[in-house]
Amino acid sequence: MQKRKLGTGGLEVSALGFGCMGMSWSYGPPKDTKEMTSLLHAAVERGVTFFDTAEVYGPLLNEELVGEALAPFHDRVVIATKFGWEANPDDGGKWSALNSRPEHIKQVAEASLKRLKVDAIDLYYQHRVDLNVPIEDVAGAVKELIQEGKVKHFGLSEASAKTIRRAHAVQPVAALQSEYSLFWREPEKTVMPTLEELGIGFVPFSPLGKGFLTGKIDAETKFESTDFRNTVPRFSADNRKANQALVDVITEFAKKKKATPAQIALAWLLAKKPWIVPIPGTTKLSRLEENLGGASVELTAEDVHALEEASSKVKLEGARYSKFHEQLVGR
């Protein structure tokens, strides 16, 4: 698989990464550890070198899974993880409290290093911007971890352009991770010009619209009780029915290219900028292979324009997050 560089600090990764969250969290109950380990090994064998996890996924379970599964491949892979959450006693012990205080960052970095079984975290993201801690202090704490050799690169997730600039002035930001796909194109206006100007890579999560752009979800689909899409307005049955028009556009385009809708959605992202590295997630080998096939679909500038022109005519319905999560993004 081709490689891409995130930021100007020399962080090189496979053009498509692997989002590991769904193996342990958010998309139903945690999956079988042996099966997920085999899938992660299969991804490495197929050329994936970039794996994304976070302390809060599980919580802790996903880092443990990724650390154990990828231990034999440390010389071949880049592992990104995230800090910034902790258990909230006011919310029954759920991990719903933000905490990016410098002393907390350093404490949880040590724990993540152990779970991931690594000497240094390749890419360490602030998971969500904590308004109680100046971003300069956050960047400064990660800078110290980098100086100590415990972290290699600094990242932000769902931050605003203003916050990115402030952080970057203290410690160069290698990558921003935020939602971006044909299902959610707001970053083109809000952050991508800043990323291009500052030489920061972009790692889109949910590049397949939380599964919607695969064409395998419709208004009749029932999600498991622990699937967080049950809380997402955009995934109500009525909104899925309305938004099906976008999937229809992508599906028609995919037929012309002899590809699947998922492959077109990923190829579109890869064609947008050379510093974009999507991280689709899956728990199935067949889907992994389908996703990786998206890196081989070449879209011309004309293809991209035609796809965007057709898809922009679809009025998408529903917010992308619940009210709680909506307030945590773009800060």
What would the pLDDT profile of 118-169 be if each residue is shown by its tens digit? 999 999 999 999 999 999 999 999 999 999 999 999 999 999 999 999 999 9
User: What number of other Cβ atoms are within 10 A of residue 114's Cβ?
Assistant: 11
pLDDT averaged over every residue in the chain: 97
Residue 11: predicted pLDDT:
98
Find all residues with CB under 8 Å of 28, minimum gap 6, and list them.
Answer: 223, 224, 226, 227
Find all residues with CB under 8 Å of 155, minimum gap 6, and list them.
Answer: 80, 123, 124, 125, 126, 173, 174, 175, 176, 177, 203
Cβ–Cβ under 8 Å, residues 253 and 310: yes
pLDDT tens digits, 218-248: 999 999 999 999 999 999 999 999 999 999 9
Residue 103: predicted pLDDT:
98
User: Is 57 labeled as catalytic in the residue annotation?
Assistant: yes
Q: Give Cα 231 to chain centroid, integer Å.
A: 19
Q: Cα torsion at 164, 165, 171, 175 (round to 10°)?
A: 40
Residue with tokens 């990242």: 155
Residue 176: predicted pLDDT:
98
In the structure encoding, which two tokens stand for residue 122, read together? 């390749």
Domains of the chain: 3-326 (3.20.20.100)
Catalytic, out of 57, 124, 125, 321: 57
Q: Give Cα 44 to chain centroid, integer Å.
A: 18
Distance, in Å, from the CA atom of 221 to the CA atom of 203, rounded to the nearest integer, reads 28
In the structure encoding, which two tokens stand for residue 42, read together? 């299969």
